[in-house]
Amino acid sequence: MESAWTPTDPWLATPLGARVLRDEAALASQVLDDVFGFELLQVGSWGENRPLLRAARTQHTTVVAPRVETGVTLCAALEELPLASDSIDAVLLPHTLERVEDPYAVLREAERVLCGEGCLMICGFNPWSGWGLRRLFARGFKRPPFPPGTRRLLSERRLRDWVALLGFDVDRVYGYLGSVPRAGGRAPPEGGRHPALGAGAYWLKARKRVPTLTALKPRRRARKPVLAPAAEPTTKIPHARR
């Protein structure tokens, strides 16, 4: 995983990358408003000085990444986190699944460390917007991928399927960024069950389901008869003795 990880700080320092961080940091204050607990874990670095964690309301925050980068507090493979199962209150994946070789393995590991009713948050670029179209153009002209450092863009629909398989309920989805990749301007985020059509990016928020225990009724054992069954009467007439 370490060899596949690409730092994104150089692009995030450009006007377009800075606009993405600015919009996401503003949206984070709204998304994290009801995320409480002791630990919020950000899996994958995204910007210097933890811009998405400034609005965190948990007691503690940690950033884990495969390489030493600014703001990273724990270095580890993202598909093998050195954390106990059911020990984290919230996990944030800021465009992380787009930059790893096996995104489902990273998502499955996030599910493992999350406690019951824990909050899972995923930021991703919308492949069905102008951002995805620009990526196709870059591929067609054999240029570096766009946005830089990404391996693939995952649609919101696919992520919904993945998190449902892992036992999550989608709570809310926010659409943000304009449909066309531009450094200027700011589109107000729209929240709900589905993001705004054509939004350049989405922020998916889900909760880990807690399995409910179903009380099983004791099976009734077949009761044996207390008295032996009476002999059935016969209609045959015995032959008289000669």
Q: Which tens digit of pLDDT belongs to each residue from 221-242?
A: 554 544 445 555 555 555 555 4
For the residues of 180-210, what is the DSSP string, one character each?
S--SS--PPPEEESSPPTT-SEEEEEEEE--
Residue 223 lies in a domain: no
Residue 199 lies in a domain: yes
pLDDT at 238: 53
Query: What range does the domain containing 80 cover?
Result: 2-208
CATH value at residue 34 = 3.40.50.150
- pTM of the predicted structure, to 2 decimals: 0.82
DSSP 100: S
Residue 236 lies in a domain: no
Cβ neighbour number for residue 219 with a 10 Å cutoff: 6
pLDDT at 7: 56
pLDDT at 33: 95
pLDDT along the chain (242 residues), means of 10: 55 92 95 96 93 96 92 94 97 97 97 97 95 89 89 94 96 92 70 65 94 59 50 53 48
pLDDT at 6: 55
pLDDT at 222: 52
Number of structural domains found in the chain: 1
pLDDT at 170: 95
